[in-house]
């Protein structure tokens, strides 16, 4: 797919903290000691006179907040996609939207060797000790066997739990039954893992083993069977990858019932399954509130099941919990839009330059797409009128150099008018349109 910048040219890249960052061909860089600084959008406009950058190119890029490396991310031009609306605080392709955090992927496991977790994972069992675990129902150290990089249930030693408590997560866990396992149905290598100590995902040797459907391996036990039985033969490690979202209640009412998704050896077994409570043996489960956090519990069901390579990644807040991605309530959306606009206006304050007002003006105009703050409207009214007059007063041989910059301001005003982010009959818009027409800049060359 070609991008909005013309996409046919190959992007350049620089190394930042060991990561390759790709730059649009029109983005300029400066070197200050060991720092590489990207000049984008308003910042590039501010430097354009001295550095002789092409304003038409640099004005198309956006300024984002600096991350910890001091590197400004280059994302998308302002005034590009559809603007924020009643339920979405961000515009489509919004250049002000935070970039995803960089995560170094882990490696896949083999039968002989567990894989490595991703860089942001919290490791719960690393194959060496049970320091992150304790008995579940009473205080005391976990007494399961640790050997050859795995921990193994010691029958009657007791169910164990993590010392750490957490909630919404991506969970990875590998387990294996004895190769010479005996028994049938629920008596064949039974164990289980309890998310937040409440919701059981069944562990069982379901390979060539018949049992009740909602008790198979990867069942949401007592609630929902797996949609596929993807187990390997006993003796081989099985891999569970789980995405868990706890129920969310507000004032005693269910806002989000909570869900679990489970992959078994790469095969989908639970597909965004509603929790319907905690699950359980023989009795119908009913929806109940969950605590804010809870442990991961591994069950001692009297079978020598082995576990290895256990880690999780905490997940961001959902919209129902106060997250700012997805479809939000009107109240939450407006609160976030006001916050974004305030951050942009604060950024605009740093661009104040009477000799070159366009960068600050464009940034302030950008803030109006999120929040039509009356004080900002008054300020951009004054600034736009002054800007137009300043261009008109330039000597005839210097006016042409302002063409791209003026058209950028006009484009911003047209965008905001369409988004109903400007008051009706916004005077400066007519002034800048008059300037464009007087210079014949509205004609296609």
Query: Which residues lie closer than 8 Å to 227 by C-beta, 6 or more apart?
Result: 268, 269, 270, 271
> Phi/psi at 179 (nearest 5 deg)?
-65, -35
Cβ distance 345 to 326 under 8 Å?
A: no
The pLDDT, as a whole number, for residue 279 is 76
Query: In DSSP terms, which residues pair with 441 in a beta bridge?
Result: none
The pLDDT, as a whole number, for residue 58 is 37
In the chain, the domains with their CATH numbers are 12-100+324-438 (no CATH), 122-321 (2.60.120.560)
Cα(70)–Cα(235) distance, integer angstroms: 51
Cα(427)–Cα(288) distance, integer angstroms: 57
The torsion angle over the Cα atoms of residues 396, 401, 405 and 406, rounded to 10 degrees, is 20
Output the pTM of the full model: 0.79
- Let me know the angle formed at the C-alpha of 376 by 371 and 379, rounded to the nearest 5 degrees: 160
Task: Quote the DSSP letter at residue 209.
Answer: -
By DSSP bridging, strand 160-162 and strand 199-203 are unpaired
Largest CA distance in the chain: 94
The pLDDT, as a whole number, for residue 407 is 95
Residue pointed to by tokens 């031009």: 77
Cβ distance 53 to 41 under 8 Å?
A: no
CA atoms within 13 A on the CB side of 176: 19
Query: Which residues lie closer than 8 Å to 224 by C-beta, 6 or more apart?
Result: 214, 270, 273, 276
Q: What is the CA radius of gyration of the chain?
A: 29
Distance between the two ends of the chain, CA-based, in angstroms?
Answer: 27
**Packing angle of the helix pair 374-392, 403-418 (nearest 10 deg):** 150
- Let me know the angle formed at the C-alpha of 326 by 325 and 330, rounded to the nearest 5 degrees: 95
The pLDDT, as a whole number, for residue 365 is 97
In tens digits, the chain (445 residues) has pLDDT values of 444 333 333 444 444 444 444 444 334 444 444 444 444 444 444 444 433 333 333 333 433 343 333 333 446 788 889 999 999 999 999 999 999 999 999 999 999 999 999 999 999 999 999 999 999 988 899 999 999 999 999 999 999 999 999 999 999 999 999 998 888 788 778 999 999 999 999 999 999 899 999 999 999 999 999 999 999 999 999 999 999 999 999 888 899 999 999 999 999 999 999 998 777 777 787 888 899 999 999 999 999 999 999 999 999 999 888 888 889 999 999 999 999 999 999 999 999 999 999 999 999 999 999 999 999 999 999 999 999 999 999 999 999 999 999 999 999 999 999 999 999 989 999 999 999 999 999 887 6
Query: Which residues lie closer than 8 Å to 365 by C-beta, 6 or more apart?
Result: 79, 380, 409, 412, 413, 416
The pLDDT, as a whole number, for residue 75 is 65
Closest to 64 (Cα-Cα) out of 363, 323, 335, 379: 363
Distance from the Cα of residue 113 to its chain's centroid:
30
The pLDDT, as a whole number, for residue 187 is 72
Query: In DSSP terms, which residues pair with 150 in a beta bridge?
Result: 147
The pLDDT, as a whole number, for residue 78 is 86
- Rounded to the nearest 5 percent, the helix, strand and coil shares of the chain are 25, 25, 55
Cβ distance 125 to 307 under 8 Å?
A: yes
């Amino acid at each position: 797919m070609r991008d909005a910048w013309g996409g046919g040219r190959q992007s350049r890249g620089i190394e930042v903290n060991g990561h390759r960052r790709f730059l649009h061909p029109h983005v300029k860089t400066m070197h200050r000691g060991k720092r590489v600084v990207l000049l984008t959008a308003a910042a590039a406009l501010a430097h354009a006179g001295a550095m002789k950058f092409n304003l038409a190119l640099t004005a198309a890029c956006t300024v984002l907040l600096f991350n910890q490396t001091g590197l400004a991310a280059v994302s998308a031009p302002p005034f590009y996609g559809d603007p924020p609306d009643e339920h979405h605080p961000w515009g489509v392709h919004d250049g002000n939207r935070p970039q995803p955090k960089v995560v170094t992927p882990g490696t896949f496991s083999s039968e002989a060797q567990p894989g490595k977790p991703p860089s942001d994972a919290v490791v719960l069992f690393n194959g060496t000790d049970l320091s992150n675990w304790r008995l579940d129902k009473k205080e005391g150290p976990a007494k399961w066997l640790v050997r050859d990089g795995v921990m193994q249930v010691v029958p009657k030693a007791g169910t164990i739990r993590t010392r750490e408590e957490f909630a919404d997560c991506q969970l990875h866990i590998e387990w294996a039954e004895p190769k010479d396992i005996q028994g049938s149905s629920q008596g064949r290598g039974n164990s289980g893992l309890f998310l937040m100590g409440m919701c059981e995902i069944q562990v069982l040797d379901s390979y060539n083993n018949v049992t009740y459907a909602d008790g198979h391996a990867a069942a949401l036990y007592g609630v929902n069977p797996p949609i596929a039985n993807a187990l390997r033969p006993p003796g081989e490690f099985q891999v569970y990858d789980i995405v868990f979202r706890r129920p969310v209640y507000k004032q005693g009412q269910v806002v989000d019932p909570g869900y679990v998704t489970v992959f078994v050896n790469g095969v989908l077994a639970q597909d965004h399954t509603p929790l319907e409570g905690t699950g359980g043996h023989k009795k119908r489960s009913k929806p109940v509130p969950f605590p804010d956090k809870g442990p991961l519990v591994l069950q001692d069901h009297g079978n020598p099941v082995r576990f290895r390579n256990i880690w999780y990644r905490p997940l961001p807040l959902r919209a129902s919990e106060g997250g700012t991605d997805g479809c939000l309530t009107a109240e939450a959306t407006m609160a976030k839009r006001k916050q974004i606009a305030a951050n942009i206006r604060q950024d605009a304050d740093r661009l104040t330059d009477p000799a070159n007002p366009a960068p600050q003006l464009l940034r302030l105009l950008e803030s109006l797409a999120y929040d039509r703050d009356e004080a900002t409207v008054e300020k951009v009214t004054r600034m736009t009128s002054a800007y137009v007059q300043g261009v008109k007063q330039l000597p005839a041989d210097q006016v042409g150099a302002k063409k791209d910059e003026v058209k950028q301001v006009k484009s911003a005003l047209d965008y905001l008018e369409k988004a109903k982010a400007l008051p009706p009959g916004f005077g400066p818009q007519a002034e800048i349109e008059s300037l464009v027409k007087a210079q014949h800049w509205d004609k296609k060359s």
